[in-house]
Structure 1
Amino acid sequence: MERSSSPSSSGVAARRAAVTLLEAVLGRRRTLDEALGAMPEMAARDRGFAHLIAATVLRRLGTLDAVLEPFLRRAPPDAVLHALRTGAAQLLFLGTQPHAAVGETVAAVRTLPKGDSFAGLANAVLRRVAAEGQGTLAGLDGPRLDTPDWLWRSWHAAYGPATARAIAVAHQREAPLDLTLKPGEDGSAWAARLGATLLPTGSLRLPADHAPVRELDGFAEGAWWVQDAAAALPARLLAAKPGERVADLCAAPGGKTAQLAAAGASVTAVERAPDRAGRIGENLARLALAAEIVVADAATWTPSEAFDAVLLDAPCTATGTIRRHPDIARVKRERDVAALAPAQDGLLAAAARMLKQGGRLVYAVCSLEPAEGEGAVARALAAGLPLRPEPFTEAEIAAVAEARTAEGHLRTTPALWPERGGMDGFFAARLVRVAS
Structure 2
Amino acid sequence: IFIFVNEALSVLLRSVHTVIQRTPPQLLREIVLVDDHSSSAELKEHLQSFVDETNAQHGPGFIKVVRHDKQEGLIRSRVSGWRAASAPVVALFDAHVEFNTGWAEPILRRIKEDRTRVVSPSFDNIKYDTFEIEEYPLSAQGFDWELWCRYLNPPKSWWTLRNHTAPIRSPALIGCFVVDRKYFEEIGLLDEGMEIYGGENVELGIRVWQCGGSVEVLPCSRIAHIERAHKPYTENLTAHVRRNALRVAEVWMDSYKSHVYMAWNVPLQNSGIDIGDVSERKALRSRLKCRPFSWFLSNIYPELRSYSDTVAYGVLKNSLRNDLCLDQGPDTDNVPIMYLCHGMTPQNVYFTSSQQLHLGVLSPTIDDDDNKCLVDVNSRPRLLECSYAATKHMKLTWTFAQGGAIQNLESQRCLELVESRQSEFTFQLAIQDCTGQKWTITNILTVLPQ
Q: TM-score, normalised to structure 1's length? A: 0.28
Q: Which has the higher contact order (CA 8 A, sep 6+)?
A: 1
Question: Which of the two has greater strand per residue?
Answer: 2
Question: Which of the two has greater helix per residue?
Answer: 1
Larger Rg: 2
